[in-house]
A = this chain, B = another copy of it.
Amino acid sequence: MGGDFGPCVTVPASLQALVSNSQLHLLLVGDPDIISPLLAKADPLLLERLQVVPAESVIASDAKPSQAIRASRGTSMRIALELIKNGEAQACVSAGNTGALMGLAKLLVKPLDGIERPALVTVLPNQQRSKTVVLDLGANVECDSTMLVQFAVMGAVMAEEVLGIAQPRVALLNIGEEETKGLDNIREAAVVLKNTPTINYIGYLEGNDLLTGKTDVMVCDGFVGNVTLKTMEGVVRMFLSLLKSSPEGGRQAWWLKWLGRWLQRRVAKRFGHLNPDQYNGACLLGLRGSVIKSHGAANQNAFAVAIEQAVQAVQRQVPNRIAARLEAVLPKSD
């Protein structure tokens, strides 16, 4: 039911995901009166792997998380998470209220031992043809140094276990590389990480290093992470749209125009992997189950990508692997 477009996007995206993955079963939690008509023309064979789970109400995207959680009984988001809790689903995908999803997931799916607050994490393509794990992307707008350290640990485990990077480099996002820079919580986290031998901590990096591949894991608080990721997406989208549009003014020979378009398409293709739609879906890391948060503005393709992320999280057993590694890696708090 969530996201800027609701079931108009999520239902067709679900069908798309079922087409591309024949092993997938989906439970669509929400208002059957809205969902069913959108399924009317679907292939009956697909519908065998799809079930509508009725929910009375919906958490509004602008609801205050604390209030929304208190009044969450019967909402589609809560019911979807309860399906995980009861073992009826292996993962949950939502484009709804991030704060409410975070709070309810913590309440129902529970954090892993030693994790104070789960974090939203995504994997970005970088210039070294590799990938960078970035967290937190908005689950925690304010973070103390302990949370940043836990994010670093979870990010490192994810880079190692999911991306297969040995001894992944971990950096803290800051406004300069010198030790004196930044906010207190970041400097305190740096001291702890430097003294954690199981973490390959490489120091501070700045915003311009998000895509350079200088680090495998980039750690920041949820406010900065959210703004940074959206800024990046905004610039990438602008470039992609400018590349697709034709250059202004001037009369050109038809063959020049044609060649121009052909080459622009080629250039656009080279940047395709940076298109935010291609990596939609941030994983709520640090829970005992797989919960994926889709961009609220996701279109059908992008939401289908988020569903596929959930599939991968389940197949790669991300929560289990992280739990297994956490105990060895987490600095002892006592």
Contacts and interface: CB of A to CB of B under 8 A. Distances in A.
Interface in A112-162: 127, 138, 141-142
A95 interface: no
A255 to B, nearest CB: 10
A138 B266 CA distance: 38
Main secondary structure of the interface of A (DSSP, over half): helix
A247 B271 CA distance: 11
Given A239-B271, A242-B271, A141 B227 contact: no
Interface residues of A, number: 53
Nearest to A209: B234
Contact of A175 (B61, B138, B207, B266): B138
Contact of A235 (B175, B183, B235, B247): B235
Contacts of A223: 175, 182-183, 224
A221 to B, nearest CB: 9
Contact of A207 (B179, B209, B234, B243): B234
B234 A175 contact: no
Nearest to A63: B180
A260 B263 CA distance: 7
A326 to B, nearest CB: 27
Interface in A198-239: 206-212, 220, 222-224, 226-239
A316 B230 CA distance: 34
Contact of A259 (B235, B243, B259, B271): B259
A239 B239 contact: yes
A324 interface: no
Contacts of A237: 208
Give the 7 A-B residue pairs with the shortest CB-CB distance, closest first.
A208-B234, A207-B230, A207-B231, A62-B178, A175-B226, A207-B227, A208-B230
Given A208-B233, A223-B224, A247-B270, 10 more contacts: A62-B176, A141-B183, A206-B227, A208-B234, A210-B234, A227-B227, A231-B231, A235-B235, A260-B263, A264-B267
